[in-house]
Amino acid sequence: MKKVVIVLTLLLCLTGCNNQKYYSKNLFYMDTVINIKIYNNNQERVNQAFDEIEKIYQKYEKLTNFYDENSELSKLNKDVSTEISPELFNLIKIGADWYDKSNGLLNINIGNLTKLWHDFRENPKELPNVEDIEINKINIENDQINNDKVSIDLGSIAKGYVTELAGNYLEENDLEYYIINAGGNVKTGKSFKGFYNIGIASPINENETFEIIKGENISVVTSGGYERFYEYEGVLYHHIIDPHTKYPANYMKSVTVIGKDSGMCDALSTILFLMSAEDGKEFIKDYDVDVIWFTNDNEIIKSDGFRYE
**Span 45-59, mean pLDDT?**
98
pLDDT(13) > 60: no
User: What is the model's pLDDT at position 29?
Assistant: 96
pLDDT(36) > 60: yes
- Whether 34 and 27 have beta carbons less than 8 Å apart is answered as yes
> What pTM does this model have?
0.90
pLDDT(227) > 90: no
Confidence of residue 224 (pLDDT cuts 50, 70, 90): confident
The 3-state secondary structure of 102-167 reads CCCCCCCCCHHHHHHHHHHHHCCCCCCCCCCCCCCCCCEECCEECCCCCCCCCCCCHHHHHHHHHH
pLDDT digits (tens, 9 = 90+) for 244-263: 999 888 888 999 999 999 99
Average pLDDT, the chain: 89
Fold that domain 1-309 belongs to in CATH: T-fold (3.10.520)
Confidence of residue 229 (pLDDT cuts 50, 70, 90): low
- Most confident stretch, 114-123, 142-151, 195-204, 256-265: 256-265
- Of residues 73 and 4, the one with the higher pLDDT is 73
- Of residues 270 and 127, the one with the higher pLDDT is 270
Confidence of residue 232 (pLDDT cuts 50, 70, 90): low
- Whether 156 and 113 have beta carbons less than 8 Å apart is answered as no
pLDDT(308) > 60: yes
**Span 141-155, mean pLDDT?**
94
pLDDT digits (tens, 9 = 90+) for 95-142: 999 999 999 999 999 999 999 888 877 777 777 788 889 999 999 998
- Whether 225 and 257 have beta carbons less than 8 Å apart is answered as no
Phi, psi of 209 (to 5 degrees): -110, 155
User: What is the model's pLDDT at position 247?
Assistant: 86
User: What is the distance between the alpha carbons of residues 266 and 221, in angstroms, rounded to a whole number?
Assistant: 6
pLDDT(272) > 50: yes
**Residue ranges covered by each domain of the chain:** 1-309
User: What is the model's pLDDT at position 193?
Assistant: 92
